[in-house]
Amino acid sequence: MSDPMAEIRASFFIECEELLEALQDGLTAMDGGDDDAETINICFRAVHSMKGGAGAFGLEQLVRFAHRYETVMDEVRAGRLSPDRDAMMLFFRAADVLSDIVRASRDGTEVDQSETEAVLTQLESLAGGALDEEEEEEVTDFQPMTLSFDLDSPPAPTEDTPWTIRFTPHKALFASGNEPQHLLRALSALGEAETVCEQDRIPTLDALDPEDALLSWTITLDSTKSESEIREVFDFVDGICDLEVSGGGGGGGGFALPALDDIPSTIDDGAPAEEAPAPNIAASPPRITLSAPTDETMASDSAAPAPSSAAAPATAPATPTPATPTPVTPTPDAAPAKVETSKPAKPSGQAGGQATASQSKATVRVDLDRIDRLVNLVGELVINQAMLSQSVQEADIPSNSPVSQGLEEFMQLTRDIQDSVMMIRAQPVKSLFQRMSRIVREASAAVNKRTRLVTEGEATEVDKTVIERLADPLTHMIRNAVDHGLESSADRVAAGKSEEGTVTLTAVHRSGRVVIEVSDDGGGINRPKVREIAESKGLIAEGISLSDSEIDNLLFLPGFSTAKEVSDLSGRGVGMDVVRSAIQELGGRISITSEPGVGTCFSISLPLTLAVLDGMVVRSGGETMVVPLGSIVETLSLQDNEIRSVGPGANVLHIRNSFVPLLDLAVALGFREPLESYDGSVVLLITQEDGTRSALVVDSIEEQRQVVIKGLQESYGHVPGIAAATILGDGQVALILDPVDLMSTVAGKKPGAGPSLELAG
Amino acid sequence: MTERSIKDNEIGELELLSFKVGEQEYSVDIMLVREIRGWTRATPLPHSEQYVRGVINLRGAVLPIIDLACRLGLGATQTTERNVIIVVQIHDQSIGLLVDAVSDIISIPRNELQTPPEIATDASNSFVQALTVVEGRMLRVIDLDAVYPTREGHAA
């Protein structure tokens, strides 16, 4: 496959992702009780567009599935089927399967046929006779209806003259998986329609090209809809068919033929007049004014109601000329011209129709590498600016001098630029949450519980990397909530709750961090049982006194699982400890609150970005280091009498009636030997996620500032106790501590996060 | 990579950057050299090998510095302002080599390179990829792959 094709293909799949998202949105809205026709339309269109695109790329499976899906949706759209809860669940499942197929098609992998088939079968049974009916119609549509109806219903004496729509599909329309049937049906949904098929262009059998588009339809539509609304039906086939809409309100029953191939050649001479009376159309119903041999006046009259078609009369000959099929095949010239013609109609149609219009802001797709480069450059700029201000300071320039003031503004600008650049990388968590709704559906189906996922704060923006790396832990937590958190339906009813469990997923910005909460309205943590399990597994000593929150935190211990039996859902040996370390890798914290009988809530607090960090710059053993501000709860200055020795080389800090392990940072990192006296040293009180604290001795605190994170991973590798590096104002590299890792390294435990950290390079 | 780039040069001439480490003269394929810069203080990395002097800021990138003398078993370099860091690229990754001084750029025909004889006495020998003679002096071509610390050792 050639390169440009691959590119188009790639952009098709990106589009698919967006369409899938729109579909999810629509379905969620429908599920939430929104039965607005437009919502259903959005879903329908999403599936339909995917089908169209898939057809163009020959993705048979996708076309097939989307087609069925779309057929059922069309039933809903036409009001013939009102979706109940089960139908909605099926729609959701079908959307999941559809996204599987899309992804499989993209990656060239196989999808699980059994699931696809199962959903297909269910879709078919839901549609009931509709599918058969469709098959029949396809055959019968053309012949019997042709000439019979028209005269019985002469221009109905309604306030509006009926619309006359002439629709001639091109070969490409069929090639791209579109189906005139749907369009015609959609039209008839707008009002009373009479459809007449014209078969004049069909040659004798021996000259027949089976793949050519030889049929066209003339629809007389009695509807109060505006022209743009009628044209909207054909939005998807724009450019691959000839479409004329005429009549309606103004009463001009004329025609506006948009096949524009040969405008220039015919526009001036009398040719149109001679050719216009296209003979084949004479066969069509008299109500269609075209049938009467028209003259130029007629043609120019008809031009009036059709906007943008000043040239229309001239184009008349193009389509009706019956003898050869050639005019039907779209020529390259025709396509752009067509776009122009339909433009006036299109925007209004969208504005009227799409509720999503407000969302579709102008966006640009940018390669992530480019953004990363920009982020890097801005990082440089920040460092450079810091170096500059440092030298200005060292040069003893008075603070009221233009240099200092200019620098001040420069700093402000740098800050703003940095913030804006970070914003580029930020994405709403919506896509992540949508993936979770699928997890909930699958999980609840697997354990036979009825679960509803409520999401809040979908628009909250977080760094793209954070979102990507949050998917796994969040999936796990959601599964846990459904499997362990929620009680069985029977238990719920017994407890006086609704049978349907609720899992709530919220995201919110809180003081420079984003907080994501997964909560359920289940039975809460069964603390005695948690304790019992922890004891039986030897994770804690028996009989030890623990507070409620300490018991809750036992869930995070490696090797803990409360499920009595290992379900195929959770309990795969991956526990909450993995979730926690994944969150910690992102510089986040996770905490847990639970109330018996009411529910459990896991709260994740994450930095907005992984590129900068608020840190405290400290000196230790002659080195400058950065300690993440988030992990410091308190700083104090040390007096010798606060230190208690609990063994050789092991000291604790006595603070407010509790003992906290004391650690000299410089010693821990091997920069110097332990000091004789720590009197007057500065202590940073560090807290870990599980609430345990430790005290870190440093020589002095320099300042508190934002630092740009530079990975050590790609240039060197993981260093125990060190999270990353940064560059300070003096151009020196300073190491950023990973206090949790440092503590566990010193304590001789296996560094938790170390081995699983990915190498960014 | 070093080996390949030496072989790939079809002209048959090899350009080497020669430098002093301790009292010995080494060289490296000039195509692998990105830049040469003066010594700046490196930020030490905790728990690192002795020959890893730390990291420096190379225009915003964090560059690890290897003390070549120490790596070759010639004792740690006493750094002064006259020391030089040769920034080389191996496996899409830049590292800095701390050496005493850069001497020369030498062009030698490829066929004058000899594989070092198998005498496993000198620790520094395992880092030597080839030997050649220039104006009566022995010049060692260093094997960068052997010099750079194995990543596994730092993974956890």
Whole-structure pTM value = 0.50
Q: Which residue has the higher pLDDT, B149 or A316?
A: B149
pLDDT digits (tens, 9 = 90+) for A662-689: 888 888 888 888 777 777 888 898 876 5
Give contacts of A 265-284 with B, CB under 8 A.
none
B140 three-state secondary structure: strand
- Helix-strand-coil percent breakdown of chain A, rounded to 5? 45, 20, 35
Of B44, B92, B155, the CB nearest to A755: B155
- Which residues of chain B have a CB within 8 Å of the CB of A732? 41, 43, 57
Query: Which residue of chain B is at minimal alpha-carbon distance from A376?
Result: B60
> Residues of chain A whose pLDDT is less than 50?
1, 130-159, 250-358, 564-573, 749-761
- Cβ distance of A733 and B41 shorter than 8 Å: no
Cα separation, A416 vs A214, in Å, equals 61
- What number is the ipTM of this complex? 0.80
Question: What is the rounded CA–CA span in Å between residue A471 and residue A517?
Answer: 14
d(CA A290, CA A304): 15
Q: Is A512 on the interface with B (CB under 8 A)?
A: no
**Residue A331 contacts B, CB cutoff 8 Å:** no
Q: Provide the pLDDT for residue A755.
A: 34
Strand blocks (E) in A48-137 = none
> Is residue A176 a contact partner of residue A240, using CB atoms and an 8 Å limit?
yes
Name the minimum distance, in Å, from the CA of A384 to any CA of chain B. Answer: 9
Return the residue in B57, B91, B95, B150 with the most chain A beta carbons within 10 A, the one to mutate for interface testing: B57
The upper half-sphere exposure of residue A290, i.e. CA atoms within 13 Å in the direction of its Cβ, equals 33
- Give the contacts of A92 (CB within 8 A, at least 6 positions apart): A27, A31, A437, A438, A441
Q: Report CB contact under 8 Å: B156, A735.
A: no
Q: Which residue of B has its CA nearest to A726?
A: B62
- Mean pLDDT confidence for B72-84: 83
pLDDT of residue A360: 57
A250 close to B (CB below 8 A): no
Query: What is the least distance, in Å, from the CA of A733 to any CA of chain B?
Result: 6
For residues B74-101, give the mean pLDDT: 86
Measure the CA–CA gap between B40 and A593, rounded to whole angstroms. 51
Who has greater pLDDT, A125 or B154? A125
Please compute, for residue A96, the number of CA atoms within 13 A of its CA located in the half-sphere on the CB side.
21
pLDDT for B156 equals: 32
Tokens of A34: 């929104």
Q: How high is the pLDDT of residue B12?
A: 76
Tell me the CA distances in angstroms from A131 to A76, A126, A136, A186, A190, one per residue in order. 13, 10, 9, 16, 21
Of B40, B92, B154, the CB nearest to A716: B154
Chain A neighbors of B89, CB-CB under 8 A: none
SS3 of A342-387: the string is HCCHHHHHHHHHCHHHHCCCCCCCCCHHHHHHHHHHHHHHHHHHHH
- Three-state secondary structure readout of A245-274: EEEHHHCCCCCCCCCCCCHHHHCCCCHHHH
d(CA A291, CA A311): 20
Residue A583: count other Cβ atoms within 10 Å of its Cβ.
23
Tell whether A573 is within 8 A of chain B (Cβ).
no
B57/A380 Cβ within 8 A = no
Task: Label residue A87 exposed, middle or buried (CB < 10 Å: 0-12, 13-18, 19+).
Answer: middle
With an 8 Å Cβ cutoff, are A719 and B154 in contact?
yes
Q: Does B50 touch chain A (CB under 8 A)?
A: no
Lowest pLDDT segment from A113-127, A566-580, B10-24, B94-108: A566-580
Chain A residue nearest residue B43, CA to CA: A733
pLDDT, mean of residues B135-149: 82
Give residue A22's identity as a one-letter amino acid code.
A
Cβ neighbours of residue A650 under 8 Å, at least 6 residues apart? A661
* Cross-sheet strand order for the sheet of B61-67: B33-38, B84-90, B93-99, B61-67, B52-58
A727 touches chain B (CB under 8 A): yes
Residue appearing with tokens 């496959």: A1
Q: Does A379 touch chain B (CB under 8 A)?
A: yes
Q: Name residue, tokens 């519980």.
A: A449
Query: Which residues in chain A have their CB less than 8 angstroms from residue B155's CB?
Result: 717-718, 754-755
A542 burial level (CB within 10 Å; 0-12, 13-18, 19+):
exposed
Bridging pattern class, strands B93-99 and B61-67: parallel
Choose among B46, B59, B63: nearest Cβ to A715: B63
Q: Which residues of B touch A380 (CB under 8 A)?
A: 59-60
Q: Does A696 touch chain B (CB under 8 A)?
A: no
CA distance to partner chain B, nearest, from residue A719 (Å): 7
Q: Are residues A717 and B151, on separate chains, in Cβ contact within 8 Å? A: yes
Phi, psi of A698 (to 5 degrees): -125, 170
Chain A residues close to B59, C-beta within 8 Å: 380
Q: Which residues of A touch B47 (CB under 8 A)?
A: 669-670, 719-721
According to DSSP, the β-strands at A623-628 and A733-737 are parallel
Tokens read off for B83: 């020391």
On whether any CB of chain A is under 8 Å from the CB of B114, the answer is: no
The whole-angstrom distance between A459's CA and the closest CA on chain B is: 34
Q: Which is nearest to A95 in space by CA: A167, A185, A37, A19?
A: A19
In degrees and rounded to multiples of 5, residue B104 shows phi and psi of -160, 165
Mean predicted confidence (pLDDT) in B79-100: 87
